[in-house]
Chain A
Amino acid sequence: MKWDDLFAILPLVVISTWAVVLVLVDIVIPRDRKGITAALAALGLIFALYFTLPQYNRHLVAFNGMVIVDGFSAFLNTLFLASGLLAIALAYGFLKRNNIDRSEYYTLMLFSISGMMLMGIAADLIIIFLALELLSIPLYVLAGFARPRLDSEEAALKYFILGAFSGGFVVYGVALVYGATGSTAIVEIIQAVVAGKAAMVLLTIGAALIMVGFGFKVAAVPFHMWTPDVYQGSPSPVTSFMAVGAKAAGFAALLRIFVSAFPYLSVSLVPILWLISALTMILGNIVAIAQNNIKRMLAYSSIAHAGYILMAVVTFGKGSAAIDAVSAALFYLLAYALTNFGAWSVVIALEKSEGRGLLLQDYAGLGKKYPAWAAAMTVFMLSFTGVPPTLGFLGKFYLFRSVLEGGFIGLAIIAVLTSLVSAYYYLRVVVIMYMQDGEPVVEGDIWLKVAAGATAVLVVVLSLFATPLLQWAAQATLQSGL
């Protein structure tokens, strides 16, 4: 082991050590003072963020090629740590109000984030599998965090079964790739393919199985069936964290594996990925129209956004277009993360115990009674739709442009058309808030207000400084690991 190895995993070491120590420290914190645990968890995330920043502009292969630090990993790890901070802000008041303020929320979340960060720096399929399980297993528990509420427990069991099922696909796919090339390191896989030593049929089947496994994780059609129930049943802060973190980690793995290891499989896999991406955009957006429950609507909306980001994966065999698509996907993930956390913070502010206050009708009159909350929600809905001047618009713009660059005109047309469809159900929320009368009750604590305000401001202001932001994302390219 060299010092470079340690530098590569330092943020990960910080966050996982912090989580383990927090488990112990929490034992001595009195039951009614669990705010201390939340603050300590946030402090750990900030520390890890501090150690992540020096990793920008570095390119480092560590632990004999198992781990790689590049712009891609640094960007994603920053995103995961920031998501953790937002998820704590969203959860603190919510857990208290619903009498589930157990401190395990914060420790489990730190463990899950360490899995996501491992996914960001993983350069070996077996590390990717370990990271997948490390991020998923705490999320299964978090989904059932509101027990003994039945819908939360059901969400946990469904998420667990589908998650374990998809994990089985991933690990079998890894086994087949290992059989085809004799290695699981991404560099050695591509070397074996270039040298003509790989069994291509076996490799293709393995890659397809990995694709199916991660298709479940990012909720792509036809592997999306679990999403609405799990998103509805889980406690809202957990759902928001799941929708951003698990999805971003799934895409991190897909982009890393397909762009770096499997570009030579594009002939056989691109048609399938193309179809999955198109179906995901179409189904997600159309079914979302029929939803009355805001949590289910956001669940289908997250399926639709997975379809958009999948377009970036479709370009994986196109050389320079794929590089552009990766940075566009990262930019889109950033926009999606901020918008998503913002929208969920409004949902949490209106949610009452026993899962009431979640229907679209409960948002009637928000514009009159709570103009600030309504304005924030409007910003998030516009950003989801992709209307300027919001980050969501720029995310869609860059992503669609890179897809066109890759030559997938049909896919880009489907994306634009489904975006138009999505305007219907996103703007319906705005219409209900401002045009209909009602008596909404908002219970937002200070941290929820901070989270909603900060994300709303960032979604608008960052869109005015889009060029440096995109340059930042463009530097976050995948390095080959050679």
Chain B
Amino acid sequence: MLPEYYYLTLSAILFSMGAMGVLIRRNAIIIFMSVELMLNAANLAFVSFARMHATINGQIFVFFVMAVAAAEVAVGLALIVAIFETKQSIDIDQMNSMKG
């Protein structure tokens, strides 16, 4: 059996990759995928901690996080499709119709 420490390291790496992805990438869909990576990194951490503490809470939280992620996917995809219909682009560097 691998110790939980390994899973937690993996989860931290995944979370960092997701956060970096959001900050570096310019395509809305890929940014969105990076956010999902962050949520799933949290899921992995929840499950690992649940085994570490020998409690079941952590595993139940994963269900909620997954459901929330699905709701976000639905709204996010719809928004991206809507803006693509108007603008023919989902590059967030071109989202500059407002200036201050």
Contact = CB atoms under 8 A, between A and B. Distances in A.
A457 interface: no
B98 to A, nearest CB: 5
B10 interface: no
A301 to B, nearest CB: 13
A153 B82 contact: yes
Contact of A161 (B28, B45, B82): B28
B89 to A, nearest CB: 11
A151 B72 CA distance: 21
A160 interface: yes
B97 A151 contact: yes
B95 interface: yes
A151 B42 contact: no
A171 B42 contact: yes
B79 A179 contact: no
B64 A126 contact: yes
A168 B31 CA distance: 12
A293 B18 contact: no
Contacts of B35: 161, 164-165, 167-168
Given A168-B42, A184-B57, A293-B100, A133 B68 contact: yes
B98 A154 contact: yes
A296 interface: yes
Contacts of A154: 83, 95, 97-98
B79 A156 contact: yes
B45 to A, nearest CB: 4
B98 A184 contact: no
Contact of B86 (A140, A148, A171, A175): A148
Contacts of A184: 57, 61
A151 B100 CA distance: 13
Contact of B92 (A157, A232, A291): A157
Contacts of B82: 144, 147-148, 153, 156
Contacts of B8: 179
A178 B71 CA distance: 24
A144 B79 contact: yes
A172 B55 contact: no
A175 B46 contact: yes
Interface in B46-100: 46, 48-49, 52-53, 55, 57-58, 61, 64-65, 68, 71-72, 75-76, 79-80, 82-83, 85-87, 92, 95, 97-98, 100
Contact of A175 (B28, B49, B76, B92): B49
Given A133-B68, A151-B98, A168-B39, A179 B86 contact: no
A126 B38 contact: no
Interface string A115-135: 000000000001001100100
A211 interface: no
B18 A168 contact: yes
A291 B100 contact: yes
Nearest to A140: B75
Interface SS of A by simple majority: helix
A182 interface: yes
A202 to B, nearest CB: 9
B33 to A, nearest CB: 11
Contacts of B32: 161, 164
A154 B100 CA distance: 15
A219 B71 CA distance: 23
B86 A168 contact: no
Nearest to B23: A165
Contacts of B65: 129, 171
A171 B83 CA distance: 28
Contact of B45 (A141, A179, A233): A179
Interface in B1-54: 8, 11, 15, 18-19, 22, 28, 31-32, 35, 38-39, 41-42, 45-46, 48-49, 52-53
Contacts of A175: 11, 42, 45-46, 49, 58, 61
A126 B41 CA distance: 16
A229 interface: yes
Contacts of A176: 45
Contacts of A179: 8, 45, 48-49, 52-53
Given A178-B46, A179-B49, A157 B83 contact: yes
Nearest to B44: A175
A305 interface: no
Interface in A173-232: 174-176, 178-179, 182-184, 228-229, 232
A164 B95 contact: no
Q: Which of A155, A157, A158, A168 has the most CB of B within 10 A?
A: A168
13 contacts: A133-B71, A140-B75, A144-B79, A148-B82, A151-B98, A153-B82, A160-B76, A161-B22, A165-B38, A178-B46, A178-B61, A232-B98, A233-B97
Given A140-B79, A156-B83, A172-B41, 9 more contacts: A148-B85, A151-B97, A172-B42, A172-B45, A175-B11, A175-B46, A183-B57, A229-B98, A293-B100
What 7 A-B pairs are tightest by C-beta distance, nearest first?
Answer: A168-B38, A179-B49, A175-B45, A182-B53, A171-B42, A172-B42, A164-B35
Interface of A: 126, 129-130, 133, 137, 140-141, 144, 147-148, 150-151, 153-158, 160-161, 164-165, 167-169, 171-172, 174-176, 178-179, 182-184, 228-229, 232-233, 290-291, 293, 296
